[in-house]
Amino acid sequence: MGLGFNTFRRNPREGVEQEQWDDLILLLQDFRLQTVPDRMGSVLDTSDTFSVSSARRYLDGIMLFTGGPVTRWNNWIPIKINILIWRIRLSNIPTRERLSHRGILVDSILCPICSSRVETIDHIFAGCSDLIVLWSRIAVWWGVNLPSQITMDSLINWAVSFPWRIGQLKAFDAVILISFWCIWNFRNATIFGAAIPGNL
């Protein structure tokens, strides 16, 4: 390649700069310039030509989540609520604990409602002492028992634990999922708006 330190205004420093330089040389050492006109090619498709479908396949391969719990969709409630539940089940909502874990500076990692425990997904929806009464009231309202263990998963699947007819099941399921939506909005209003804990 003929590349050398004299190509640059200064030599690479040691450490990561030197490592990156060595890696670059390794990548380029077998590369040979050809005396042919320049052309655009695509490595995403065996035909060497770009197509939207090949780009889509590539992006799906690196971005789409596979595995995890099976998605349940309740068509009696707005799509935005189903999407929130889907994100909760993938542990993909910005709780304080999650933001902090990703290196984002937050004022506090404590639950904004009770201020006594770390705000994890399980805590905000199933463990917070100030919010748990909501699930007890729903149980009394519908004349059912609470799940034996109150967790985020057991609450999301609460409706399917009963041998109900489909309409009854979907209605109760809607109540549960909307409650998740209300809790998340209440939590956000507490942090960013004027909601006062205890008003739920």
Give kind and range of the element (H or E) at residue 65: none
Question: Which one of 81-89, 90-98, 105-113, 162-170 is the stretch in contact with Zn ion (CB under 5 A)?
Answer: 105-113
Confirm or reject binding of residue 114 to Zn ion (CB under 5 A): yes
Confirm or reject binding of residue 113 to Zn ion (CB under 5 A): yes
Q: What is the torsion angle, in degrees rounded to the nearest 10, for the CA atoms of residue 74, residue 78, residue 84 and residue 86? A: 30
Confirm or reject binding of residue 77 to Zn ion (CB under 5 A): no
Least distance CB 112 / Zn ion (angstroms): 8
Nearer CB in complex with Zn ion: 193/198: 198
Site for Zn ion in 118-137 (CB under 5 A): 128
Contacts 24+ apart (CB under 8 A), 71-77: 72/156, 72/160, 72/173, 74/170, 74/173, 74/174, 74/177, 76/170, 76/171, 76/173, 76/174, 77/174, 77/177, 77/178
Least distance CB 115 / Zn ion (angstroms): 7
Site size toward Zn ion (CB under 5 A) is 4
Binding residues vs Zn ion (CB under 5 A): 111, 113-114, 128
